[in-house]
A and B are shown apart, each in its own frame.
Chain A
Amino acid sequence: MYRTIIIGAGITGLSIARWLTRYRGLQVIVIDKEPDVGWGVTKANTSIIHPCHEEHPDKHPLRSKLCLEGHNLWYKWVKELEIPAKWPGEIIVATNDEELKGLHKYIDYAYRIGVPGVRLIDRGEMLRLEPWINPDAIGGLYAPTAGTINPMMAAIAIAENIVDNGGKLLLGTRVEDIVVRDGKVVAVETSKGGIEADIVVNAAGLYADKISRMAGIDDYSIHPRRGQYLLFSDRVDVKPNKILHTAPTPKTKGVYAITTVDGNLLIGPTAEDLPEEAREENTTTHQGLDFIYEMASRILRKLPPRNKVVKTFAGLRPEPSTGTFIIRFHEKPWGFVEAAGIRSPGLTAAPAIGKHVSKLIIERLENIEPRKDWRSKRQAIPRPAYMAPRERDKLIRENPDYGWIICVCRKVSLGEIMEAVKRMKKIGVPEITLDGIKFRTHSMYGDCQGSQCRPHIAYLLWKRLGIQPWRITTKGDGSKYAFTEVKALLRGDRGA
């Protein structure tokens, strides 16, 4: 039995782990410092499954190959794991001749990488394909295969599938060191003690360079490139069907306007290079949000007013100094594997990175065989409000909690919330967090951002499970929801 430790429960680490659980003879453990999966880069991005025609086939041969392969794997993964997804295609919208000229090269890239259907379209066809495009635009590049998924739902689904197949998650556990003996990795030191290992995979996102240094590898560094977003209410009328974006610049793929799988208009991101140490600066700024709004207004016929925003947020891209994905199996120290610098299109590429990395590992080990009892399927939490009455009533009969809608913005029942808690426990979260419930059920995720349902959810968790509201956190660590009981401050007790 080989023990494989994967550092990082983001989309990269989880995808690697999912592939590895297919084999007999391997024990798979995923470690993350956060109390739940996907809370790093995976949590805040544009959520596009790229067609991959924007990757330079010569400059980034591995990245373009993994991008396309990952794209194709997602069709299967979203079905097997019941991940919300859609495939509307995308249009790069050109607003002037120079931008239009700049689009030609992607047809060449597409051809060489093998991306189907990419072509230039004129203004007329573009506006027919997507009436929400700004009529001032002059033409565009259409890529029919582009899709979008809910990345957090994806991370959660994969995590559940890993555990279902015997893998293990150690959440709320920070890796502090990697132990190398006789030129081989032998263990990792964590905030919760040491764990022996035969293989250690570094999929630590923004912190991958630090992890590599723990294993004595010091040939690259990572700096954060921030991307800010504005997310609008699912009730605004601006709902482009296609994925739209401005013509790319050398730094980013441009500003996107998409209708997410949850039905919200999302615009963004910015591309702001931050200093190396600013790896937690996922904060929004007025300049950043104004910039996005301005850019999006170039490609959309109309934008909803700013006060229809339900949420603003920012993500940090882990930009490697090498400019490209760093994926390698080290001979020195033997057993140390990297999937580092997984910047965009990392979400798209993830299933393929998983496959590729697992292959690098498997081919070096002995007596590893595919399992016959591997389970490819995972079921999503049922959503009664969106079911046909007959199906819904069957569910409610078994469990009346499914018949009480607690979150009115997203129509989420108490049954879904309780099921989410059960599943969080099953994958081994060290504590139940409000964000964990949010990402699994989409309660607290709509127009009111939980101001209506959150206190009731906290109360029901207290009554049903004994978790007091001053013990529950929003996102772990010091992010407590409340401090103490009413009257406690008057008694001089300052609470937790």
Chain B
Amino acid sequence: MLSPKSKPSYGVIVVPDRITKKDYDTVVIGGGPAGLAAALKAREKGLETLVVETRDRLGGIPLQCIHPGFGIHYFKEDMTGPEFVYRFIDKLLSTDIDYTVKSYVNMAEYVSPMEKKLEIITPYGTEIVRTKTIIYAAGARERTRYEIGITGPNPAGIMTAGEAQTLMDMYGVMPGKKILIVGSGDVGLIMARRFVLEGAEVVGVVEILPYPSGLIRNVQQCLKDYGIPLLLSHMVISVKQRNGRVSSAVVVKVDENFKPIQGTENEIECDTIVIAAGLKPRTKLLESLGAQIDPRTKGPVVNEYFETTIPGVFAAGNALIINDYVDYAVEQGELAALAATKYVDEKGIRIKKPVKIVLGRNMRLIVPQMLTLTSDALFYGRVARPEDNVWLSFKEIGFKIPQLKVLPSIMIRQKIRLDKLRMLETDTLTVEVIPRD
């Protein structure tokens, strides 16, 4: 664990680039929380490590998150995004871990179990490096208006929450004055408050579900405290424009199958529509390597080492599964680094018995999707619909954990020890949510 007392040095732009070798034990792709944590852990375990980051600085998404809510689990402290991530950056700068920013992994090639070749484009030319393992921690991107079916013209003023946040909190630019927010997850809620605090008017938060998908605490502190209307069971179906900028959103009520109800269309005036409708893991490079993608998580299929279907290629953070908390991304990064260490030491990860994880009742998605049965397993999953008073059950091993409440918006995290898993007699393990009566 890192010292919680290390002084944050945020604001310092990290410039010098160091690719000092042609061969590494692990190359970490992505310099966000998952990647930084992975690199630190890998180095601690003695691996020759390189971090590759496309942006001009290390840190990833938390750099633009100036609100608190980071590090509650990991540091047992409530910090802003930059404070949180600079603990890792400062630590990294004090090590001999190689890193390079403004650098893009253009191509990855699987040569053999102990050799992967990467082509990296950097401002000082193309670098070809070889590595035994890859930890892919390239984060996620946000869903766009087109992916959530908003029709109409294509004017300026429709942007994702992350874009708005980058403009405001990294570059000091105010993207709008009269804002409509789509999506009531924590990101949408936090952005609503952020806009109000900067003097903008937030005309509403539109949510397709019948309940807000963010934390109750955030609904209170970000909306209710500021009198921002929350429109549940509503969706934005199209937009209107004036002079090339958004002038209003057409909002409609939806039925229980999320189908628009005729005649309930309502036009809400705004100059900006902020889409906070969820994230999608970035998987381009993994796909080019031939890794299998899970249509549910939209990230790679992995085993309990977070190893993808390509041997020696691991995934962590939002590139693996969309996390609620940065702490989980960090945790996955560290676990992936330990796995990469094992891979390097033992020349691969052996499978004792291949097990497939099956989604049972009310489970929407889960990682890992498969097991080798050689280690404890940490499961992260989401349910399909809210339910009270249930068991989270791992059916074939007869393991059940009581849950007071499950929500799609709250990730389930459950560790299962190897001795329990070893009781498995089948080659599938079903994870399900069942009523507790």
| Contact present for A483 and B176 (CB under 8 Å) | yes
**Is residue B167 contacting chain A, with contact meaning CB distance below 8 A?**
yes
| Contact present for A411 and B174 (CB under 8 Å) | no
Q: Which residue of A lies closest to B199 (CB)?
A: A489
Q: Which residue of B lies closest to A309 (CB)?
A: B146
**Is residue A488 contacting chain B, with contact meaning CB distance below 8 A?**
yes
| Contact present for B153 and A479 (CB under 8 Å) | no
| Known contacts A455-B171, A456-B166; A483 and B125 CB within 8 A of each other | no
Contact with A along B154-166 (1 / 0, CB 8 A): 1111011011001
Partner of A400, one of B106, B124, B156, B168: B124
Closest CB-CB distance, A392 to chain B, in whole Å?
A: 6
Stretch of A78-86, A171-179, A363-371, A469-477 contacting B (4+ beta carbons < 8 Å)? A469-477
**Is residue B284 contacting chain A, with contact meaning CB distance below 8 A?**
yes
CB neighbours of A473 from chain B (8 A): 156, 244
| Contact present for B173 and A400 (CB under 8 Å) | no
Stretch of A181-189, A349-357, A402-410 contacting B (4+ beta carbons < 8 Å)? A402-410
CB neighbours of A494 from chain B (8 A): 177
Stretch of B235-243, B313-321, B360-368 contacting A (4+ beta carbons < 8 Å)? B235-243
CA distance A462 to B104 in the complex (A): 23
**Is residue A466 contacting chain B, with contact meaning CB distance below 8 A?**
no
**Is residue B248 contacting chain A, with contact meaning CB distance below 8 A?**
no
| Contact present for A284 and B151 (CB under 8 Å) | yes
Partner of B175, one of A308, A393, A482: A482
Partner of A403, one of B121, B175, B271: B121
| Contact present for A482 and B163 (CB under 8 Å) | no
Stretch of A23-31, A138-146, A271-279, A310-318 contacting B (4+ beta carbons < 8 Å)? A310-318
| Contact present for A408 and B163 (CB under 8 Å) | no
| Contact present for A311 and B177 (CB under 8 Å) | no
**Is residue B80 contacting chain A, with contact meaning CB distance below 8 A?**
no
| Contact present for A309 and B121 (CB under 8 Å) | no
| Contact present for A495 and B284 (CB under 8 Å) | no
Q: Which residue of B lies closest to A313 (CB)?
A: B154
**Is residue B149 contacting chain A, with contact meaning CB distance below 8 A?**
yes
Closest CB-CB distance, B139 to chain A, in whole Å?
A: 10
CB neighbours of B153 from chain A (8 A): 282-284
**Is residue B263 contacting chain A, with contact meaning CB distance below 8 A?**
no
Stretch of A101-109, A150-158, A255-263, A445-453 contacting B (4+ beta carbons < 8 Å)? A445-453
| Contact present for B144 and A469 (CB under 8 Å) | no
**Is residue A329 contacting chain B, with contact meaning CB distance below 8 A?**
no
CB neighbours of A482 from chain B (8 A): 167, 173-176
| Contact present for B106 and A452 (CB under 8 Å) | no
Interface residues of A in 404-454 (CB under 8 A from B): 404-405, 408, 411, 413, 434, 447-452, 454
Closest CB-CB distance, A363 to chain B, in whole Å?
A: 42
Closest CB-CB distance, B169 to chain A, in whole Å?
A: 8
| Contact present for B122 and A449 (CB under 8 Å) | no
| Contact present for A312 and B244 (CB under 8 Å) | no
**Is residue B142 contacting chain A, with contact meaning CB distance below 8 A?**
yes
Partner of B174, one of A282, A289, A486: A486
| Contact present for B245 and A489 (CB under 8 Å) | no
| Known contacts A283-B153, A404-B102, A479-B244; A389 and B175 CB within 8 A of each other | no
CB neighbours of A283 from chain B (8 A): 151-153, 238
Closest CB-CB distance, A302 to chain B, in whole Å?
A: 14
CA distance A396 to B104 in the complex (A): 14
| Contact present for A451 and B144 (CB under 8 Å) | yes
| Contact present for A448 and B174 (CB under 8 Å) | no
Partner of B245, one of A454, A478, A484, A485: A478
| Contact present for B151 and A474 (CB under 8 Å) | no
**Is residue B16 contacting chain A, with contact meaning CB distance below 8 A?**
no
| Known contacts A456-B166, A470-B173; A478 and B123 CB within 8 A of each other | no
| Known contacts A408-B104, A455-B171; A486 and B198 CB within 8 A of each other | yes
| Contact present for A455 and B174 (CB under 8 Å) | no
**Is residue B147 contacting chain A, with contact meaning CB distance below 8 A?**
yes
Interface residues of A in 47-105 (CB under 8 A from B): none
**Is residue A385 contacting chain B, with contact meaning CB distance below 8 A?**
yes
**Is residue B131 contacting chain A, with contact meaning CB distance below 8 A?**
no
| Contact present for B244 and A475 (CB under 8 Å) | yes
| Known contacts A306-B149, A309-B147, A411-B104; A487 and B287 CB within 8 A of each other | no
**Is residue A464 contacting chain B, with contact meaning CB distance below 8 A?**
no
CB neighbours of A450 from chain B (8 A): 163
Partner of B243, one of A385, A447, A479, A486: A479
Partner of B244, one of A396, A451, A455, A474: A474
| Known contacts A306-B149, A449-B144, A451-B142; A286 and B177 CB within 8 A of each other | no
**Is residue B141 contacting chain A, with contact meaning CB distance below 8 A?**
yes
**Is residue B172 contacting chain A, with contact meaning CB distance below 8 A?**
yes
Partner of B104, one of A311, A400, A405, A484: A405
CA distance A385 to B172 in the complex (A): 31
CA distance A459 to B175 in the complex (A): 13
Partner of A385, one of B121, B149, B154: B121
CA distance A456 to B163 in the complex (A): 9
| Known contacts A448-B141, A452-B162; A477 and B244 CB within 8 A of each other | yes
Contact with A along B82-121 (1 / 0, CB 8 A): 0000000000000000000010101000000000000101
**Is residue B200 contacting chain A, with contact meaning CB distance below 8 A?**
yes
CA distance A480 to B287 in the complex (A): 36
CA distance A385 to B155 in the complex (A): 30
| Known contacts A405-B104, A456-B166, A490-B198; A478 and B174 CB within 8 A of each other | no
| Contact present for A481 and B243 (CB under 8 Å) | no
| Contact present for B121 and A405 (CB under 8 Å) | yes
**Is residue A235 contacting chain B, with contact meaning CB distance below 8 A?**
yes
CB neighbours of B154 from chain A (8 A): 311, 313
| Known contacts A396-B125, A482-B167; A451 and B160 CB within 8 A of each other | yes
Closest CB-CB distance, A298 to chain B, in whole Å?
A: 22
| Contact present for A397 and B125 (CB under 8 Å) | yes
Given A396-B125, A403-B125, A454-B163, 14 extra CB contacts under 8 A: A311-B146, A392-B126, A403-B121, A408-B104, A451-B144, A452-B141, A459-B171, A470-B174, A482-B173, A484-B174, A485-B172, A485-B174, A486-B169, A488-B199
Closest 9 CB pairs of A and B: A478-B243, A479-B244, A489-B199, A474-B156, A405-B104, A403-B123, A400-B123, A479-B156, A451-B160
28 contacts between A and B (CB under 8 A): A283-B238, A310-B146, A384-B121, A389-B119, A396-B125, A404-B104, A404-B123, A405-B54, A405-B106, A434-B156, A451-B144, A451-B162, A452-B163, A459-B170, A459-B171, A462-B171, A469-B171, A473-B156, A473-B244, A475-B244, A482-B167, A482-B175, A483-B177, A486-B172, A487-B172, A488-B199, A489-B177, A490-B199
Residues of A within 8 A of B (CB): 235, 282-286, 289, 306-313, 384-385, 389, 392-393, 396-397, 400-401, 403-405, 408, 411, 413, 434, 447-452, 454-456, 458-459, 462, 469-470, 473-490, 494-495
Residues of B within 8 A of A (CB): 54-56, 102, 104, 106, 119, 121-126, 128, 141-142, 144-149, 151-157, 159-160, 162-163, 166-177, 198-200, 237-238, 242-245, 271, 282, 284, 287
